[in-house]
Structure 1
Amino acid sequence: MDTKPGCIALLHQLGFKYKQTTVMPSGLNPENQAEFKKNYEEFASQLKDDETVVFMDGMHPTHNLESGKAWIKVGKTKEVLSNSGKQRCNLNGFYNPFTQDIFAKDYRTINAEATIDTFKELEAFYPNKASIFVVIDNARYYKNKTVKAWLENSRIEPIFLPTYSPNLNLIERVWKVLKKERISNKFYPKFSDFKEAILDFCNKASPEHKALLKKSVGTKLHLLKPALA
């Protein structure tokens, strides 16, 4: 007797759902994350008209198909073409969760030079802001002496996340939307087509695009509970 359907029904009755697991950084410090979230929310609520805050990070999408889920008729399969492309984009960009402003640029590599260039793009994006606060992780190039020297005469003020806290960087959610909209189950014969689709998403300012980001990304920081040993 097959008891599998009965077991599944019982699990549903008990409040369980079959879903993807959540990756948990092994070095997560819940106290540090909670303190950062509290301080950030207080800070963000007190921004002046000539101030703004963005979240910044890099992404490295590879020119190859990423298979994803789709609605497929029972008993059928859905084939999608793939390629063996190894080229990738090296995106560095920023996202404003309150205005849904988004910008990203492709670089040969993400380093101190690319970071400064992105900061320059950010200042050009907000010419009338006296202070631009940038939430970033602790990547080595953000603390490079050349970057630090450049920031001394800049309107940009970095806010460093706690270590092992990608869940607190809202642009990570933007990258997830990008994967869903432009990469998952999408076949691009040429790398140039792939790159164009990626950059189009990252530099779109239409009301429809902003509405998608507003709904999918939100403004609130999400805390993670520490994994059980």
Structure 2
Amino acid sequence: MASPSTKLSAGGMKAGKNQVKVAETTGSRPRLNRLGALNLHRTEDTVLREDPGINAENIAYFVGARRETDPLSQKIPIILDNAGYPWAECVKDIAYGRNIELHYLPPDSPNLNPIERLWKYMNEPVRNNVYFPDAQTFRETLRHFFHVMLPEKATELTTRLTDHFQILKPASSG
């Protein structure tokens, strides 16, 4: 998750020194580390956790805690990016012991991960061209998005946050 600073999504400058547009930004960039799990069938049930850092232990705890919302008899698929932490043995052990199936994305493929598409969607109304004077204001804005705005927009998101992908044949396969 990005730091709490203004994310400029469009820009331009008019000619002339009296027409310069200045965008306020924060002087510091404290990092907000969030782990998220998105239920594609119930977007409003997105699970988030903020941690002081992202490491194997925090990912293992998050994966294990994900089990609390579903019966043990139901296998839960979790899609993870290709960073090193999700591959740690402690993450795999927690998942195996709780009937959780881990799926690892190929390198450089964030658009295949539905939670990454949710982060991108969240940026549009929350971060793009918005000034946050401090990290606390940013955190409160994120909480409002996930607890108020996301449930209201869940139906709208069904076309953006899907697992419907088309498998393409390589051009060289004839």
**TM-score (norm: length of structure 2):** 0.77
Structure 1 counterpart of 2:35, from 69, 92, 101? 92
Q: 1:65 matched to which residue of 2?
A: 6
Q: 2:106 matched to which residue of 1?
A: 162
Provide the secondary structure at the position in 1 that maps to 2:121: helix
Please, which runs of 5 or more residues in structure 1 have no aligned partner?
1-59, 71-75
The aligned runs of 1:3-152 (5 Å cut-off) are: 60-69=1-10, 80-100=23-43, 101-127=45-71, 130-152=74-96
Percent identity (aligned)? 27
Provide the secondary structure at the position in 1 that maps to 2:158: helix
- State the Cα deviation string for residues 170-214 of structure 1 (Å, max 9, x = none): 221111011112111111212111012123334558642312432
Provide the secondary structure at the position in 1 that maps to 2:97: coil
Q: 2:142 matched to which residue of 1?
A: 198
CA contact (8 A) 2:63 2:91 kept: no
Q: Distance in 1 between matches of 2:73 and 2:143?
A: 25
Distance 1:77 1:209, change over 3 A: farther
Distance 1:90 1:207, change over 3 A: closer
Q: 2:120 matched to which residue of 1?
A: 176
Q: Distance in 2 between matches of 1:164 and 1:116?
A: 22
Provide the secondary structure at the position in 1 that maps to 2:160: helix
Distance 1:207 1:179, change over 3 A: closer
Letter in 2 for 1:111: N
Shift of 1:62: 0.8
Please, which runs of 5 or more residues in structure 2 have no aligned partner?
12-18
CA contact (8 A) 2:64 2:94 kept: no
**4+ runs of 1 displaced by more than 6 Å?**
222-226
CA contact (8 A) 1:182 1:197 kept: yes
- State the Cα deviation string for residues 61-83 of structure 1 (Å, max 9, x = none): 2111111238xxxxx88754322
Shift of 1:114: 1.1
Q: Distance in 2 between matches of 1:224 and 1:192?
A: 44
CA contact (8 A) 1:138 1:161 kept: yes
**TM-score (norm: length of structure 1):** 0.61
Letter in 1 for 2:84: R
Distance 1:225 1:130, change over 3 A: closer
Q: 1:45 matched to which residue of 2?
A: none
Figure out how many residues of one structure are paired with residues of the other and give that number.
Answer: 162
Q: Distance in 2 between matches of 1:77 and 1:208?
A: 38
RMSD: 2.9
Letter in 2 for 1:99: R
CA contact (8 A) 1:102 1:204 kept: no
